[in-house]
Amino acid sequence: MAMTKSKANTGSGCLTLFSLPFTIAGLCILGWTLWSLFGWQQAQSWVETPATLLETRLKTSRSDDSDTYQATARYRYQYAGKTYESDRVSLHSGSDNLGSYQQDLAKRLKKQFKDKKPWPAYVNPSDPTKAVLDRSLRPWFTLFKLGFGLVFAAVGIGMLVGARIMARKQGEKAQLSQEHPDQPWLQQPDWAAGRIESNQQYAIWFAWGFAFFWNLISWAASISAFTTAKDLPLWTYTIILGFPVIGLYLLGWAIYTTLQRARWGNSVFEMANVPGVIGGQLAGVIHVPGQLRPDDGVLLSLTRYVRRTKQTSDGDETYDDPQWQSDKLISRTMPGTKGGAAIPVAFHIPFEQHPTDEEEGHLWKLEAESNTPGVNYQAEFAVPVFRTEASSNAPPSESDLLAEYEEIPPLESLLNRIGGHLGRETDTSLQLCFPTGHRWKLGLLLGFFGLFFGGTGIGLLLERAWLLAIPFTLIGGGIFLAGLYYLTERIDLRISGDGLTVQRGPFGLVQQQRFTPEQIQAITVSASGTRSGNTVYQQIAIEPQEGKPVKLLTSLTRRADADRLAERFREILGPEVDL
């Protein structure tokens, strides 16, 4: 269906309107900061003269979230034989709670007032009606305003630029849609050209923007809490320090993605034919500007995703759920242009698969990754896959375009990737071991969030805030226990023609279950219900003839790994077990 021009402009127009408040607010804050710096520079040349304090106090403004403070005073001074009165205390108007500047200044003013001692005032010689009692800069306060303004302005201007780029691309797409109404693979410029750039540059911008914004807010809030709040309960440190710790992780993520781009450049997938054909092939070459010569090869994955939306307490959450995946291990790369590398790509796409349909949420992605010393290589491409006249339900031909480059990875390498070990493998039997700690990353992540929520809940219990304390404590405790489970769980699988035995459990408390082939109806692969970002963890389970399904392996990050293991289990158990 052709895209109309008005529909194409809707998204960019909304983004433009959404960006305006950020841009205006950021520029106003930057202007305010620069004006403050100019005022501070001018005040350094003002004339010092003694002032008599008439009154002074610390003004406190209370709200539900926090309290802010402002040192106020009224004073009298003389200049050039004339007497003046003023109530301007500092160069920074308004109240705040960044640091203890306002409280300290009010304390010193109050002491001088009680002792009936003069306070030095600084008078503008060009306009003696203007004076100030403290002309210091407050560097941290100025940096905070400057950083806040830069973030808002950068976000707003970035969205404006993005809206402009989006409008241009949508215009091109609308034009191509009108020219090729029945060929959707020619309705996007990069698809039509057969040259698709990796989305890594967008990932870098997102990583830095998110990390910068998170760290700015979390560190400013934490510093403010530690410098202004007195006698904080011990449990609050768990909450206050948790956000900066997450910020450091996000900063490390942004640095790593930048190093990847610096080392490998921006990869481009050049398609042999457009589009990738259902019941046919997706083929081409990935051009890598960097010198990619991996010892362990390059793992290629072609995956069909369905974009799903899940309702949460914070609103709707969108993620990509893998439905089908095929892997190929390329043992070596080809020489590329300008000293770079080229990765050959060829996948057969089964006839029953669903074509690309962005409106319905059906997406196809080509991914390439390789473990290399220092910074790993990784690239992702959104590729067009459709039914065409070349689509065929016939089995793929015996010839393989990648025969010279492809290497079938042994089962042991797959197990090592998911934290397992191959005990023994024959044509009729298989022993797998997943030792204690094989899911330590997931366990530590859940443990951290469990402590965060649990610490908050315990603190609320101490404050007798029962309504919030109980759910926070229960949720935090549950997440923490799940983390301990993943850290200490051990799994042993033994599969043979006589049946399947699974031993699993945490803390050395192992439970054993055994199934004969006659008791097994099917071995299934499905989403486990656990996600981390866009990674949807997969699980392998047994569907017995009677009773509930029994999980064998969970938290597998790759659909192709789960499919291959399930197929191997079925081969050993016999043809009567379905997939």
Q: Digits of tens for pLDDT over the chain (579 positions)?
A: 444 444 445 656 777 787 788 888 888 888 888 888 888 889 999 999 999 999 999 998 887 667 888 999 999 999 999 999 999 999 888 888 777 889 999 999 999 999 999 999 999 999 999 999 999 888 777 877 887 788 788 878 878 887 787 777 777 777 877 888 888 999 888 999 999 999 887 788 888 888 887 887 788 777 766 665 556 666 666 677 778 888 898 999 999 999 999 999 999 999 999 999 999 999 999 999 988 888 778 889 999 999 888 776 666 778 888 888 888 888 888 888 888 999 999 999 999 999 999 888 899 999 999 988 889 999 999 999 999 999 998 877 655 667 778 777 788 878 887 888 888 888 889 999 999 988 888 888 888 888 888 877 887 777 777 777 888 889 889 999 999 998 999 999 999 988 999 998 888 788 899 999 889 999 998 887 776 666 778 889 999 988 889 889 887 888 888 888 999 998 898 876 665
Asked if the domains 267-391+401-409 and 434-439+489-573 are classified in one and the same CATH topology, the answer is: no
Sign of the dihedral defined by the CA atoms of residues 371, 373, 375, 381, in that order: negative
Angle made by CA atoms 233, 236, 241, in degrees to the nearest 5? 135
CATH number for 434-439+489-573 (one of 3.40.50, 2.30.29, 3.10.180, 3.30.70): it is: 2.30.29
Neighbours of 76 (CB within 10 A): 13
The pLDDT of residue 456: 79
What amino acid is encoded at 59 in this protein?
K
Show me where the domains of the chain are located.
Answer: 45-134, 199-265, 267-391+401-409, 434-439+489-573
Q: How many residues does the chain have?
A: 579
Rounded-to-integer distance, Cα 126 and Cα 123, Å: 9
Its pTM stands at 0.67
Of 260, 404, 272, 399, nearest to 332 by C-alpha is: 404
Angle made by CA atoms 155, 156, 158, in degrees to the nearest 5? 65
Assign 392 to helix, strand or coil.
coil
Taking a C-beta distance cutoff of 8 angstroms, is the pair 158, 23 a contact?
A: no
The pLDDT of residue 554: 83
Running DSSP on this structure, what letter comes out for residue 186?
G
- Which class in CATH covers the domain with range 267-391+401-409? mainly beta
Rounded-to-integer distance, Cα 428 and Cα 229, Å: 68
Taking a C-beta distance cutoff of 8 angstroms, is the pair 57, 106 a contact?
A: yes
The pLDDT of residue 238: 67
Strands 276-277 and 385-386, bridge-based pairing:
parallel
The pLDDT of residue 400: 66
Residue 343 CA, chain-centre distance (Å), reads: 28
- The structure tokens listed for 457 are 């809940």
